[in-house]
Every structure is written in structure tokens, then in C-alpha cells.
């Protein structure tokens, strides 16, 4: 719970424990029912949506800070995390914006010198398997839940820019990072895999072409098992051959030079 | 010239004008005579080699800081610059290392509190056309000059890691960034283009395969001009069709989905 005391204690620790001027924000992607999802915090006592973000302890790497932030603010652990861009516009977190933001939560902004400083924020993206995680909010947040990428509403500060940049980077890294491996359940059908690619790329793909290329990479293992329970003819299940997947990613799925 | 006075003045300004804890380092690539080159500073009164690095003014973006740093420390202007990774190991610039480093230059490290703090450094890579630039050192450096990537010697602090990471990123972005456009002179031969790719990838490529793929991208314009003066049969000159190059880079040279 966010109380006057817990907030005072948090601020006292922030000013002694964290490096000033440096923050991080996490764009957490999931995939469910054919949709790319994004994990957002709703800030307590407001309708404001934010990426889970945090700060860096004085003797901590950025990567450790991102892992700790995700655990503290969303409950997520053991996720695939990757830094992707640093956001350094001096106006990205201008004091007036932050004061409004703090007042919205019911915090006296005059006391919150920590939040009034300029922050340069390192963006991380996380890929998590939707069905495996159970996100929950921290004391600053009313909810921590999944939103569809489309129609999610506007985020605070420059968090929409951070999210859009993460998506652009994710697109460009589809052939160099184990995106499918981290977003899909262990067993999946080819239509599910294709829907994931379509959701990330934001466009429909030709089914035959997609499957031909996916098979050519040699990273899929057919499981001799079928997805049952659907209305359609039961499709075959596949999983990734992780060793071959990682080998193929080294030169890029489209092949190297 | 680095004098006691100019150094005192620099330190005074650093502590008032720069954000603490945040630095940047630039990996400047060039290409000449079939070799990938790297621009390094030799620190005054030492044999120590360093990447050109600097700090961020209180109201400056990282990108503006990198442009200013390159101008101030190497004289380079109007270069292609791209942030690529943040280096945040708390031990990357530990005080003992920095003290030794400063003593080497003849600076009293006890006075240099600015340098004793922890820095999280944002790496930028720059691509410049070797023949077009005339680098010169700043007051902290004895020389500012090109080194072959191989056999360059050891750099200070974690600058070798920063350099190796930049090279890895450059390799992975060969199909998404105008690498050839920025490293080659405006007119070049196909063997020169291939040598550039080989230098970046660190391996020989099959000539026929390379040329077939390059032509398939549709980004080369044959100039109906020949390189003269060489011992061999004069090869044709090419230039990039920048409009087509940039369009092809949007989906990646290997083609999108």
C-alpha cells in the first residue's frame, strides 16, 4: 500500500541509494489469442498508464536494475530482457509534467525533489510467455495488466515513443533474436507462429510462403501431436529446436554473407 | 595545450555544466586501402590509446553531446552517428584505474573528483569517409589518428569491449544501415565494395556471389567511368543510388517478410 510513511521512506532511500539522472523503462511484450500484448501499470488514484520503470542502484549494472525493477513493479522474473535505446530529450520528463503526474497520485510534488530532476532513460524490451506469468502491481500502481497494442490509450511522459521504438527494434531483430521462442508457449501450431509474426510486423503474410521459409530455417521440430478441442481440423504442434535456432540466429535467419 | 590552468578551468566547468555519472564513447570507423580503420586518441605524455569520449551538458541530448564531443576531441563534423549500447559495469571505470590513468597524464588525481565518480557510458559508432576528414587532437591528447583494427594495441578502461561491441553491431546492421554509403568515397569499384564487406565481416566472400547479390538489391548505379592508374585492367566505377538504398534498407537488404 502507498501510505505517506511508505512514500517518505521510498524517497529517502531513492536519494541515497540510486544514481541520479539515470532511469530505465521496460516494454514488456506478450502474445495471446493472436494479439501482441503490452504490460502496463495504471498509476494509483489515476487513469494514467505507464511502462514499468525504475532507477539504478549505485553499484548495480543497468541489466540488474532492469531485472530488479520488473520484479519489484510487476512480479515478473526470469524474462528475456534486452536494452534497445536510450531516451535523452531534456524535455522528456520536464518538472511541470512530473509535478502534475505526482499530484494526480496524491503526492506533494514540492517534497519530491527526486522526481523533479532530469532523467536519461534506458529502454529495455522484455519478451514473456503470456500464459506463464502472473503480473501484479507495486505500491505505486492500482493495476498491472495486459493491453492490446492497438487501442491501449495514451501513456505518460514519452512512454508512447519508448513503446513504438521498442516495436520498431523488435521488428528489425526478428531474424537476430529468439523472438518466437520467448513469446510462444513451448508447443505451438504453424498458424499461431504466423499470427505472431503478423502481429509484430503489423501486416498479413502469405501462408505458403511463410511456412516454406520457416521450414527452410531448419529450426522447427514437428511434435507428432495435435492441438485438439478447436472447431477446425486439429493442426500439428511444433516446438523450436533451440540449438539450431540459436545457431541460425548467429548469422541471421535470412542467412549471412 | 594542457596546462595546469586550462585543466583547472576544464574541471571547474565539468562539475557545473555536465550531468554526473553519464558519459559517452565514440567508435569512429573509416575504410582505407582495403582495411577497416579506427580513430584513436593517444593520451598526452603517455602511450595510452583511448576512444574519443565525453560528457553530457545539463540541457543536451545524448546525440548532441556525441556530435559536440567528436568535434571538440577530434575535429570531425557532419558524420553518421548511431548509439549502439550502454556500458554500465560498476567496475568499468573504477577509481584506482582512473587515478593511475590521470597520474600518467601528469594530473593530480586527488583534485579530480569529477573523474573518480562512476560513469555509465553510452556507446556511439560513427562512419566516416577516410579521405574526406582531417582529424586533430584536443588538449588532452598528443595525437588523433587512424589505426588498423588488427594490431591496434590495447585501449584504456573497457574501450576494447566498447570497440568489439560496436563491430558486432555494425556487422548485424550491414543490411539495415547505410554502412557502405558512409564509409566509401562517392565513387568506388566493386572490388572496393567487396573489400569493405570482407573487412567488416572479417572473412573472405565469393566474388561472383557478392556481385550477384549487390546487383539484385538495385542500389548500385554504374557510372560509365573507369578507375585509371592501377596496374590492372581499369575497373568500372559505381556509386550508390541513395533513394533506392534507403528504400531497400527499410525492409533490410536481405528482403523483409
pLDDT (tens digit per residue) in A116-165: 899 999 999 999 999 999 999 999 999 999 999 988 999 999 999 999 99
Question: How many Cβ atoms sit within 10 Å of the Cβ of residue A123?
Answer: 24
**Structural domains of chain B in order of their starting residue, each with its CATH number:** 4-172 (3.90.79.10), 187-251 (1.10.10.10)
Q: Which residues of B touch A172 (CB under 8 A)?
A: 176, 252
**Who among B86, B118, B201 is closest to A122 (CB)?**
B86
Residue B21: the pLDDT is 96
Does residue A230 carry a pLDDT above 70? Answer: no
d(CA B112, CA B30): 33
What pLDDT, on the 0 to 100 scale, is given for residue B6?
85
Residue in chain A nearest B197 by alpha carbon: A257
Indicate whether A236 pLDDT > 90.
yes
Note whether B252 contacts A254, CB cutoff 8 Å: yes
Say whether the ipTM exceeds 0.95.
no
Residue ranges of alpha helices (H) inside chain B are 4-17, 62-74, 95-105, 113-116, 159-172, 179-183, 190-201, 207-217, 242-251
- Flag if A174 and B257 touch (Cβ within 8 Å): yes
Confidence of residue A247 (pLDDT cuts 50, 70, 90): confident
Residue A118 with chain B: CB contacts under 8 Å: 19, 58
β-strand pairing of B53-57 with B80-87: unpaired
Q: Which of A120, A172, A176 sits opposite B62 (nearest CB)?
A: A120
| Crossing angle of helices A190-201 and A159-172, rounded to 10° | 130
- Cβ <8 Å between B20 and A21: yes
Query: A224: pLDDT confidence band, cut at 50, 70 and 90?
Result: confident
Tens-digit pLDDT string for chain B (257 aa): 677 788 888 989 999 999 999 999 999 999 999 999 999 999 988 889 999 999 999 999 999 999 999 999 999 999 999 999 999 999 987 777 777 767 766 667 777 788 889 999 999 999 999 999 999 999 999 999 999 998 899 999 999 999 999 999 998 888 888 999 999 999 999 999 999 999 999 999 999 999 998 998 899 999 988 887 766 678 899 999 999 998 888 877 766 66
- The whole-number pLDDT of residue A96 equals 73
pLDDT for residue A237 is more than 80: yes
Q: Are the beta carbons of B22 and A120 separated by less than 8 Å?
A: yes
Across the interface, do B122 and A86 touch by the CB < 8 Å criterion?
Answer: yes
**Alpha-carbon distance A231 to nearest alpha carbon in chain B (angstroms):** 29
CA distance A60 to chain B (A): 6
pLDDT of the residue at A121:
98
d(C-alpha B55, C-alpha A72), whole Å: 31
Overall residue count recorded for chain A in this entry: 257
Considering only residues A168 and B104, tell me which one the structure prediction assigns the higher pLDDT. Answer: A168
Which contiguous run of DSSP H or E holds residue A168?
helix A159-172
pLDDT of residue B105: 66
Contact at CB, B59 and A252, closer than 8 angstroms: no
* Mean model confidence pLDDT for chain A: 90
- Secondary structure of residue A254 in the 3-state scheme: coil
| Whether A254 contacts chain B with CB within 8 A | yes
Amino acid at each position: 500500500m502507498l501510505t505517506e510513511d511508505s512514500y517518505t521512506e521510498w524517497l529517502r532511500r531513492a536519494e541515497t541509494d540510486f544514481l541520479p539522472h539515470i532511469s530505465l523503462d521496460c516494454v514488456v511484450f506478450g502474445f495471446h489469442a493472436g494479439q501482441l500484448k503490452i504490460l502496463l501499470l495504471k498509476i494509483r488514484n489515476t487513469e494514467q498508464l505507464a511502462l514499468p520503470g525504475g532507477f539504478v542502484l549505485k553499484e548495480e549494472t543497468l541489466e540488474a536494475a532492469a531485472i530488479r525493477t520488473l520484479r519489484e513493479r510487476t512480479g515478473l522474473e526470469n524474462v528475456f530482457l534486452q536494452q534497445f535505446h536510450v531516451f535523452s530529450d531534456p524535455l522528456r520528463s520536464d518538472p511541470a509534467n512530473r509535478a502534475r503526474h505526482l499530484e494526480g497520485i496524491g503526492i506533494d510534488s514540492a517534497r519530491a525533489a527526486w522526481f523533479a530532476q532530469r532523467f536519461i532513460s534506458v529502454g529495455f524490451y522484455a519478451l514473456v510467455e503470456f500464459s506463464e506469468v502472473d503480473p501484479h502491481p507495486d505500491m505505486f500502481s492500482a493495476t498491472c495488466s495486459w493491453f492490446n497494442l492497438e487501442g491501449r490509450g495514451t501513456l505518460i511522459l514519452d512512454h508512447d515513443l519508448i513503446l513504438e521504438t521498442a516495436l520498431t527494434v523488435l521488428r528489425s531483430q526478428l531474424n537476430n533474436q529468439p523472438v518466437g521462442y520467448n513469446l510462444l508457449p513451448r508447443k505451438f501450431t504453424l498458424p499461431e507462429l504466423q499470427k505472431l509474426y503478423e502481429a509484430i510486423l503489423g501486416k498479413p503474410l502469405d501462408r505458403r510462403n511463410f511456412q516454406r521459409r520457416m521450414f527452410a530455417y531448419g529450426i522447427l521440430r514437428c511434435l507428432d501431436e495435435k492441438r485438439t478441442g478447436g472447431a477446425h481440423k486439429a493442426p500439428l504442434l511444433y516446438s523450436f529446436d533451440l540449438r539450431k535456432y540459436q545457431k541460425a540466429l548467429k548469422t541471421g535467419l535470412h542467412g549471412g554473407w
